[in-house]
């Protein structure tokens, strides 16, 4: 952690460009602009007519419908990607090639080949890459993890976690942004801190790749009706 004594000058904020001004992007934009003092939201990009402008105007940032403008902007230190998932990998690769630190919403990729492409792009550009695994920053999940790590429950055999999100059959009282407000803020604060200090992000591209491999094995298992080892999806 940086020494923040009263006499030290406040380090310049990390200047962030936000890609995607939909539901999640709007929440992240508000978090960056209002809840993280070390971040400054300077530009929002979204190809949908009016989407970036609507968000940026409330948050005091510039707006563009062209993500290339944002990636070419030398004032942007770091990019937060909250576009539709199909575009994540290409945006990570583009942002890394432009020398920006990258935070990407989950999923970072839809195939293991694309996950490798994103990881390699960040590695070869030498930029930090963090993925939006917000629950790692939720105080209750973190406390449970610490208990397990300290041996408090012996060797875990099974973890069951159910969160009922608003959607796909029955509406719910709280949205994910209500349930995980602190976790969403915590993950972006940790990203900004990693960019400022040069520390390795707490959630890496490799973590996203690991989660994707498990998800692909689960999908294959549902489709085939049999257990599927992670090795099998790795070989595909
Ligand atoms: N971490 C979480 O808990 C969590 C929760 C919700 C959503 N998400 C993820 O956040 C992402 C966005 O979800 P959402 O609910 O905000 O979707 P959304 O449909 O509300 O918003 C997506 C936005 O991306 C824009 N967009 C599409 N293509 C783009 C491109 N090439 N460049 C820039 N912008 C582009 C769209 O115009 C739209 O405004 C998804 O990947 C989703 O999986 C994560």
Per-residue pLDDT at 175? 75
pLDDT at 10 over 60: no
Count of structural domains within the chain: 1
- Name residues whose C-beta falls within 8 Å of residue 3's C-beta, 6 or more positions apart in sequence: none
**Nearest CA owner, ligand 1 atom 11:** 82
Q: Answer yes or no: is the C-beta of 73 below 6 A from any ligand 1 atom.
A: no
Triad 143, 147, 151: Cα angle to 5°: 165
| Residue 48 structural domain | 14-148+175-204
Has residue 8 been placed in a domain? no
Tokens at residue 194, please?
A: 């990693």
DSSP string for 154-216: SS----------S-SSS--SS-HHHHTHHHHHHHHHHHHHHHHH-PPPSS-HHHHHHHHHHHH
User: Is 52 within the bounds of a domain?
Assistant: yes
C-alpha distances (whole Å) from 160 to each of 57, 156, 163, 171, 221 are 42, 11, 10, 22, 18
State percent of the chain over pLDDT 70. Answer: 92
Q: In the prediction, which pLDDT does 104 show? A: 98
Ligand 1, atom 29: closest residue by C-alpha: 83
Ligand 1 mean position, distance from CA 164 (Å): 19
Dist CA 107 CA 40 (whole Å): 25
pLDDT tens column, 78-106: 999 999 999 999 999 999 999 999 999 99
Q: Is 187 in the pocket of ligand 1 (CB under 6 A)?
A: no
Contact 220 CB / ligand 1 (< 6 Å): no
Give the per-residue pLDDT at 4: 40
In a domain, 101, yes or no: yes
80: β partners? 18, 103
Q: Is the CB of 26 under 6 A from ligand 1?
A: no
Q: Please name the residue whose Cα sits nearest to atom 19 of ligand 1.
A: 22
User: Domain of 71: which CATH number?
Assistant: 3.40.50.720
Q: What is the pLDDT of residue 2?
A: 41
Task: Reply yes or no on whether the pLDDT at 134 is more than 90.
Answer: yes
User: Is residue 7 pLDDT above 70, yes or no?
Assistant: no
> Is 164 part of any domain?
no
* Domain assignment of residue 117, yes or no: yes
CA pair distance 84, 76, nearest whole angstrom: 21
Rounded to whole angstroms, the Cα distance separating 106 from 196 reads: 23
For range 36-58, the mean pLDDT: 98
SS3 124: helix
In a domain, 35, yes or no: yes
Beta strands 129-131 and 101-104, pairing class: parallel
pLDDT at 117 over 70: yes
75-79, 83-87, 177-181, 222-226, range with the lowest pLDDT? 177-181
What's the pLDDT at 163? 76
Name the average pLDDT for the chain. 92
Q: Is the pLDDT of residue 6 over 50?
A: no
**Overall average pLDDT of the 165-171 stretch:** 69
C-alpha of residue 211 to centroid of ligand 1, in Å: 19
223 is a domain residue:
no
Please work out whether the CB of residue 215 comes within 6 Å of at least one atom of ligand 1: no
The verdict on residue 128 lying in a domain is yes
What whole-number distance in Å separates Cα of residue 135 and Cα of residue 180? 8
User: What mean pLDDT comes out for the span 17-40?
Assistant: 97
Residue 226, pLDDT score: 97
């Amino acid at each position: 952690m940086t020494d923040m004594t009263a006499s030290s000058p406040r380090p310049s904020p990390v200047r962030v460009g936000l890609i995607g001004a939909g539901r999640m992007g709007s929440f992240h934009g508000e978090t960056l602009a209002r809840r993280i003092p070390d971040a400054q939201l300077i530009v929002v990009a979204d190809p949908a007519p009016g989407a970036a402008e609507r968000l940026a105007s409330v948050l005091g940032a510039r707006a563009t419908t062209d993500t290339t403008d944002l990636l070419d902007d030398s004032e942007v230190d770091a990019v937060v990607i909250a576009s539709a998932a199909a575009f994540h990998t290409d945006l990570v690769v583009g942002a890394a090639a432009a020398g920006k630190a990258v935070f990407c919403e989950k999923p970072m990729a839809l195939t293991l080949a694309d996950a490798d492409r994103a990881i390699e792009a960040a590695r070869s550009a030498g930029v930090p890459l963090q993925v939006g695994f917000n629950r790692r920053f939720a105080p209750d999940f973190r406390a449970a993890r610490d208990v397990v790590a300290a041996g408090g429950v012996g060797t875990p055999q099974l973890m069951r976690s159910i969160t009922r999100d608003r959607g796909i059959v029955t509406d719910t009282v709280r949205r994910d942004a209500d349930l995980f407000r602190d976790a969403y803020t915590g993950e972006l604060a940790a990203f900004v801190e990693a960019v400022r200090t040069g520390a390795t992000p707490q959630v890496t591209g490799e973590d996203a790749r690991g989660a994707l491999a498990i998800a692909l094995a689960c999908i294959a298992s549902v489709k085939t009706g049999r257990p599927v080892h992670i090795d099998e999806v790795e070989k595909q």
